[in-house]
Amino acid sequence: MGRRWIRWSHKRGMRSSLIGLVTFACVFLKLGLGLGPYSGENTPPMYGDYEAQRHWMEITVNLPFNEWYTYDPQYWGLDYPPLTAYVSWICGIVAHSINPSWVALDSSRGIETAGSKLFMRGSVIAFDTLVYVPALLLFSRMWFVTRSKRTQDLAFLHLMLHPALLLVDFGHFQYNSVMLGLMVMALNCFAIGYDLAGAFFFVLSLGFKQMALYYAPAVGSFLLAKCVLLGPKEGGRLFVRLGLITIATFTVLFIPWIPPFSSSTRAILVPISRIFPFARGLFEDKVANFWCASNIVMKWRKLAAQAILVKAAAVLTLLGFLPSVAVIGKVAWELKTLIPSEAEEGSKLDDKQPSNFSNTPILPLLPYALLNSSMSFFLFSFQVHEKTILLPLMPLILLFAGATPDSEVFQWGALGSNVAVFSMWPLLKKEGLALQYFALTLLWNRLIGYNPLKIMSTFYSMKSFVHVLSAGAYMAIIFLHLLEPIIIPPARYPDLFPVLNVLVSTPVFVCLWLWSIKCCIQVSWAVTGPSGAGAESIDRPRFSSIVSDTNERPSSFRAPISRGVVADRVRTISLGPAHGKRARRSSTHSVPGSTSALPSSVSIFRGNTTVNDRMPDS
């Protein structure tokens, strides 16, 4: 449906207004969702996440900085990093100017008037539109630069209407889109080589919600790999700059709690201990991760002490994201040994555009690495909440957005996101968002042209592993949904359905995690060649620029041969079919035989991570 609609509107000359329309339509949808109930509506004395966010506005606007993290921690004390606090502060100021009773200290607790509800809903939508939507728009433009305008618009549409985030942010009520939006902005910056800006945005994302830490291993190893790749001199300089930017941003974020502004040096510990509460249990409620799922068989909390479990979780998480980190490191190392001199030469030649170059060979790995690391955190780490699935979901749907419907990435993406939404079902049902859950899931599947029923009915074809897995998962999901209204769980197992939900979701997430590792390795092969160290005898891939080709292409075409070769070699992987054409075209410009660089198109974003070598006559 989405594809057809985009085609229709492009033909009807609505191309230029399409983005505005989609954004506006989404605002409508979000408002519509906002009419529904939210977390903790009408449930005194503690209410829910909605009241938590509102309460933070109340305390930030009424209290000085040093009391933010200490004021009555029993009643929704602030336990997110400072950027959340600042955002709440801004909202609080606005709310105060419209209607002071919405954020009056203490007396506004549990306020549920229509006006305040509209304001709260509006604030989420406003921040979403200011941060997340532009980030997605830039993403669709920057990461799919070689693809057609239609594909870019379609990717944007798919990303905008993703039900999981809509349900959590605009139904349940949270500000996840700000964190995710900042993270996507960081990715956009990495894509065009502005690593420093990327690091800045990543720190902001961390500063909004500590959950962004799930991405840290991938981002960190990516940036380190880039430093390695640039060589000791350039790389060292970049490393120092990155470090400075990161520290500076953190300092600015925490400045009210750092000595000149606070009374003591220990003040900084207050927000830190609030943000990382290790004192809580292994998991809360029922969440579709390893610990909760295996808890049915092994009663972890009886078997081991809290401290041991924390360590075990940390070790497992580490093992979980190690593959992607290792792969990034390996790729960087191999590329470094393959083209040591040329890379440096290239860096000299390309001094005018120093950083949008040579980071890019490992860039295609980044989304998979993000998926891998965040999924491993979700599956194995400590104190995971079911809404946290949004984090692994983000890189997955970013990958998904540009995929063609018959590709493997598309299948995994659709499966992953549907199961992710399903994994939040017990939460949504509890909050009275069941209708919205079904409606949005239906809409999105229809929009992307994906039919779970069709997949179920063709499972016997055994087309691929993901096909069979999807069929199985959907059967289980539909079966559970049908069963739930009919069967009342026995008194002994009141949590029967949440547990079954976990048992369905966890295997799928584990498979996704394994798949992300597989993809990391495949992409790394595509980047360095199948056996890596084979050096000169191997067909090295040729990378085409990820940066806007309008700027890049003419210069590289007209460049002298020596420079053209270098540029070709270090330019990175494209994201689509247009690339193949360009590779062929540019290959006619390079002199056959004078170089070992052979054209090969690597199109990871279409899901077929194959190296398509075309041998020129050498």
Partner 1 sequence: MGYLILSTVIKVLLFPAYRSTDFEVHRNWLAITHSLPISQWYYDATSQWTLDYPPFFAYFEKILSIPAAAIDARIVDLNNLNYDSWSVIVYQRSTVIITELVLGAALLKFIRSAVDPPTQRIISASLFLHPGFLIIDHIHFQYNGFMFGILLWSILMARNGKKLMSGILFAVLLNFKHIYMYLAPAYFIYLLRSFCLSPSGQVEIKNFLALANAVIVVFGVSLAPFALTGQIQQLLSRLFPFTRGLNHAYWAPNAWALVTAADRILLKYVKSTGKHIPVNLAGVASTSRGLVGDTVFAVLPNVKPIHTFTITIALQSIILIKLWFHPTYKSFVTALTLCGYSSYLFGWHVHEKAVLLILVPLSLLAAERHAYFRTFVIATVAGVFSLFPLLFTPAESVVEVVYSIVWFAMIYLPLSKRVYEFPKSLSYVILDIIEKIYLGGFLVLQIFVALFPILSRRKGADASGMEFLPLMVTSVYCSIGMVWGFMRLIFIYLHEDTAYQGQLSTIQ
Site for partner 1 in 203-262 (CB under 8 A): none
Nearest distance from C-beta of residue 466 to partner 1, angstroms: 25
Our CA angle for 521, 404, 198, nearest 5°, is 55
Alpha carbon distance 124, 257 (integer Å): 27
Residue 42 sits in the site that holds partner 1 (CB under 8 A): no
Quick one: which of 61, 169, 177 has its CA closest to 121?
A: 169
Query: What is residue 612's three-state secondary structure?
Result: strand
Q: Are 525 and 538 in contact (CB under 8 A)?
A: no
Site for partner 1 in 107-166 (CB under 8 A): 114-115, 117-118, 121-122
Nearest distance from C-beta of residue 39 to partner 1, angstroms: 15
Residue 36 sits in the site that holds partner 1 (CB under 8 A): yes
Which ranges of 431-487 would DSSP assign to H, the alpha helix? 434-447, 452-457, 465-486
From candidates 6, 19, 34, 565, binder to partner 1 by CB under 8 A: 34
Q: Are 365 and 328 in contact (CB under 8 A)?
A: yes
Structure tokens, 292: 């909760």
Measured from the CB atom, the residue of 9 and 262 that comes closer to partner 1 is: 9
Q: Which residues pair with 283 in a beta bridge?
A: 384
Stretch of 26-34, 192-200, 225-233, 262-270 lying at the interface with partner 1 (CB under 8 A): 26-34
x/- mask, partner 1, residues 76-105, rule CB under 8 A, reads: ----------------------x-------
Stretch of 4-12, 294-302, 351-359, 411-419 lying at the interface with partner 1 (CB under 8 A): 4-12
Alpha carbon distance 4, 6 (integer Å): 5
Alpha carbon distance 482, 497 (integer Å): 11
Stretch of 25-33, 307-315, 360-368, 518-526 lying at the interface with partner 1 (CB under 8 A): 25-33
Site for partner 1 in 328-357 (CB under 8 A): none
From candidates 21, 303, 308, 561, binder to partner 1 by CB under 8 A: 21
Stretch of 320-328, 382-390, 432-440, 538-546 lying at the interface with partner 1 (CB under 8 A): 432-440
Residue 24 sits in the site that holds partner 1 (CB under 8 A): yes
Stretch of 32-40, 62-70, 199-207, 322-330 lying at the interface with partner 1 (CB under 8 A): 32-40
Alpha carbon distance 110, 555 (integer Å): 62
Q: Are 320 and 510 in contact (CB under 8 A)?
A: no
Measured in whole angstroms, the distance separating CA 85 from the mean position of its chain's CA atoms is 22
The secondary structure of residue 173, as a DSSP letter, is: I
Nearest distance from C-beta of residue 169 to partner 1, angstroms: 15
Residue 303 sits in the site that holds partner 1 (CB under 8 A): no
From candidates 442, 453, 487, 561, binder to partner 1 by CB under 8 A: 442
Measured in whole angstroms, the distance separating CA 2 from the mean position of its chain's CA atoms is 22
The secondary structure of residue 214, as a DSSP letter, is: G
Measured from the CB atom, the residue of 86 and 438 that comes closer to partner 1 is: 438
Structure tokens, 392: 């692994």
Alpha carbon distance 594, 373 (integer Å): 41
Structure tokens, 190: 């990495």
From candidates 133, 197, 360, 443, binder to partner 1 by CB under 8 A: 443
Nearest distance from C-beta of residue 166 to partner 1, angstroms: 10
Measured in whole angstroms, the distance separating CA 90 from the mean position of its chain's CA atoms is 26
Looking up tokens 């009056």 gives 104
Residue 48 sits in the site that holds partner 1 (CB under 8 A): no
Stretch of 11-19, 285-293, 418-426, 566-574 lying at the interface with partner 1 (CB under 8 A): 11-19
Measured from the CB atom, the residue of 129 and 587 that comes closer to partner 1 is: 129
Q: Which residues pair with 614 in a beta bridge?
A: none
Binding site for partner 1 (CB under 8 A): 1, 4-5, 9, 12-14, 17, 20-21, 24-25, 27-29, 31-37, 98, 114-115, 117-118, 121-122, 435-436, 438-440, 442-443, 446
